[in-house]
Amino acid sequence: MFKNGNLFLPPPRDGSDLKELFKRLAAAGAGRPLSKDGFPAGPWTPELLAEAISQIDSNRIGVDLRTVQLWFQDNDKGISAANIHWLARVFGCGDPMATNEWQMELSAAQSRLAAKRREQKSAAS
């Protein structure tokens, strides 16, 4: 599905944690613009995603490339609430309703990741 000239994937609402969800969305290129031939432009890279977030008009600060690189790595780090907002804008293709849905999905996925981390820590003790 396409929205505003970008590849749009609706929130899956499948119970994925943030890392699982982010990996799928990045690999699919959710929110990426269509290429000249009308096909999705491919997966996100840390550089492309950092640039896309930094180009959002209301984002005066941008996002550090190193921060975005951490999102792509297999680690226990989550994503800040501010950056979840910017990701929702990208994945929502600039559409206010879709952005709101993505913000809710990403926030819920972040909560699931935090709960998963707590479980792993308590199981290790």
Looking at residue 22, what is its pLDDT? 97
Going residue by residue through the chain (125 aa), what tens digit of pLDDT does each one get? Answer: 899 999 999 999 999 999 999 999 999 999 999 988 888 889 999 999 999 999 987 777 789 999 999 999 988 889 999 999 999 999 999 999 999 999 999 999 999 999 999 998 888 87
Q: In angstroms, rounded to a whole number, what is the distance separating the alpha carbons of residues 21 and 75?
A: 14
Longest dimension (CA), the chain: 54
Domain locations in the chain as residue ranges: 2-124
Looking at residue 13, what is its pLDDT? 96
Looking at residue 35, what is its pLDDT? 86
Q: Is the pTM of this model over 0.85?
A: yes
Looking at residue 92, what is its pLDDT? 98
Give, as one character, the DSSP assignment of residue 32: P
Q: In angstroms, rounded to a whole number, what is the distance separating the alpha carbons of residues 25 and 43?
A: 8
Evaluate whether 108 touches 15 at the Cβ level (below 8 Å): no
Looking at residue 70, what is its pLDDT? 96
